[in-house]
Amino acid sequence: MKHQHDLRTPIDNGSREAVQTSALMNDLDRMVGIIDDDIAREEKEAGVFDRSNPAYPLLAKMLRARRDNLAKTIALLERRLATLLERTDRMMFGDAQQA
């Protein structure tokens, strides 16, 4: 079987990556919302809302750590998306702006 060459332009690849990054961010944001609901449910079931209380639910602690990691990932992806969009704009409009 012959190998097919990727004939897409860098702009197409950048745009596709931007769309995929945006979709991933939306999925992760939805997961953060679900985890927030789970944390609230665990706290309510335990009747403990103070994280410094020794009786604070272990699952809620673990979910908070997971949520915080997802939030950091989303922030990194936001920066990546901004870079992708900026690069795509430069490739599409850079020559026109210099003229």
Residue 49 one-letter amino acid: F
Residue 37 one-letter amino acid: D
pLDDT at position 80: 95
pLDDT at position 16: 87
Which pLDDT tens digits describe the chain residue by residue (99 residues)? 455 544 445 556 668 899 999 999 999 999 999 999 999 999 999 999 999 999 999 999 999 999 999 999 999 999 999 998 888 777 767 655 554
pLDDT at position 9: 53
pTM of the model: 0.75
